Amino acid sequence: MSGHVVSFTIVDRPREFPDLSQREIQALRGAAVWYAKYHAGTIASAAHDPGAYAVAEREEYLDLITALDKLGVRVRLPDALKQAA
């Protein structure tokens, strides 16, 4: 298999994170902003879907927007999601 491989570990409780350099923080912010903007339309199109998957995706997306806000990054919330926020 060629390409990049990414693996994740499940974090089931808060833990200390290592100190990040300013460049690492900026890289994480940039990636999160890209993700938020890229998926805004998809999340907004399912804004009124009551299915468990859509609700979970919406909640995770709103958590991302909240986290970015705490980092000082303002991402416009799609109108369809403003009621859910």
Let me know if residue 16 belongs to a domain: no
Let me know if residue 6 belongs to a domain: no
* Spatial distance between the Cα atoms of 34 and 30, rounded to a whole number of angstroms: 6
Query: pLDDT for 1-39, tens place per residue?
Result: 456 665 656 656 666 667 888 898 889 889 999 999 999
Let me know if residue 45 belongs to a domain: yes
Domain ranges, residue 65 = 22-82
Let me know if residue 10 belongs to a domain: no
- The alpha carbon dihedral of 61, 67, 70, 74 has a sign of negative
Let me know if residue 5 belongs to a domain: no
Total number of domains constituting the chain:
1
As a whole number, the mean pLDDT across the chain is 82
Let me know if residue 1 belongs to a domain: no
Let me know if residue 13 belongs to a domain: no
The reply to whether the predicted model has a pTM over 0.75 is: no
Let me know if residue 32 belongs to a domain: yes
* Spatial distance between the Cα atoms of 43 and 46, rounded to a whole number of angstroms: 5
